[in-house]
Amino acid sequence: MAPTSTPKTPFGRVLTAMVTPFTADGALDLDGAQRLATHLVDSGNDGLVLNGTTGESPTTTDAEKAQLVRAVVEAVGDRAHVVAGVGTNDTHHSTELARQAEAAGAHGLLAVTPYYSKPPQEGLYRHTVAIADATGLPVMLYDIPGRSGVALSHETLVRLGEHPRIVANKDAKGDVGAASWAIARSDLAWYSGDDILTLPLLSVGAVGVVSVAGHLVAGELRGMIEAFTAGDVAKATSVHQSLLPVFSGIFRTQGVILSKAALNLQGHPAGPLRLPLISATEEEIAVLKQDLAAGGVHL
């Protein structure tokens, strides 16, 4: 039986955390970014997250971040949600990036938990509220303690969800129980930040995914989510299981590395990576081809 109510999906159901294309000499490839964004939206994405970790944000300048947002909004902004990553471990810098993203035309902001500094929960709360207060754009939290070193507690998530512009959470905590607790006590729209946990998180109230595998299988992810929301859990489970080789294969090393390798193999704009990330080795590419083939992805 289909659900009797429709959950809020402020950024759609399927978003991909888009890689940032670079030219062969490592410069920002704005034309390539527009072509890749168009391809991803045509493939089934409701939205694109720019300037996140998958977009190599630690190695792009503030000016490049703004240029990328403007270019992608120009290419797909009338067909997809364009969400700009603005989180840093410097609150002032983050608010500046938020205002810059709004001026560049972004439709929403992604605010990662401040990394490395390990602030207490009150610091996390004040940091995030400062970002939300800097613009009129809706904000998606990004809870990823494996990278940031600190997690948003259940209580802080619920408290942040009371802010009128903090509307969603990208959950990469890997704890379905914690997600279930927070979803039940807040109005935040919950998005899986781990491809392999999208279906389990849907079962406790999530509404979609911010994906890396969406570079390659956005249509399949959409089909899985639509099957689940229509009440066809068996079909959703079947799709989930068919995609397991893709979910695991794309993360055999750092996800950006193999995402760019796959896109380059398919002939889409991606290009090289900026140090400290490095291009996939021939051995890694050979295994990636096997993983993707097992998941039904044609290169």
CA distance 251 to 124: 28
Condensed to tens digits (0 to 9), the pLDDT of residues 33-74 reads: 999 999 999 999 999 999 999 999 999 999 999 999 999 999
Residue 5 has pLDDT above 70, yes or no: no
Q: Which residue is catalytic, options 142, 173, 191, 260?
A: 142
The annotation status of 207 as a binding-site residue, yes or no, is no
Terminal Cα distance for the chain, rounded = 37
Average pLDDT of the chain, as a whole number: 96
Higher pLDDT, 2 or 20: 20
Q: Which residue is catalytic, options 65, 170, 173, 260?
A: 170
Condensed to tens digits (0 to 9), the pLDDT of residues 82-118 reads: 999 999 999 999 999 999 999 999 999 999 999 999 9
How far are the Cα atoms of 70, 217, 220, 250, 278 from residue 288, in angstroms, in the given order? 32, 14, 19, 7, 16
Tokens of 92: 């002032």
Query: What pLDDT does residue 298 have?
Result: 84
Query: What pLDDT does residue 299 have?
Result: 82
8 is catalytic: no
Q: Please answer whether residues 9 and 229 qualify as being in contact, where contact means their C-beta atoms are separated by less than 8 angstroms.
A: no
> Is the torsion defined by CA of 223, 226, 230, 236 positive or negative?
positive
Average pLDDT value for residue range 162-186: 96
Helix, strand, coil fractions of the chain, as percent rounded to 5: 50, 15, 35
Residue 4 has pLDDT above 50, yes or no: no
The annotation status of 253 as a binding-site residue, yes or no, is no
CA distance 254 to 30: 23
Helices (H) and strands (E) in the chain, counts: 13, 8
Q: Mapping DSSP to helix (H, G, I), strand (E, B) and coil, where does residue 111 land?
A: strand
Residue 1 has pLDDT above 80, yes or no: no
Q: Please answer whether residues 262 and 285 qualify as being in contact, where contact means their C-beta atoms are separated by less than 8 angstroms.
A: no
Helices (H), 161-281: 176-185, 198-202, 214-229, 233-242, 244-249, 255-266
Strands 189-192 and 208-211: parallel
Band the pLDDT of 6: cuts 50, 70, 90.
Answer: low
The phi and psi torsions of 168 (rounded to 5 degrees) equal -155, 165
Condensed to tens digits (0 to 9), the pLDDT of residues 226-236 reads: 999 999 999 99
CA distance 237 to 275: 38
CA count, 13 A, side-chain hemisphere, 81: 23
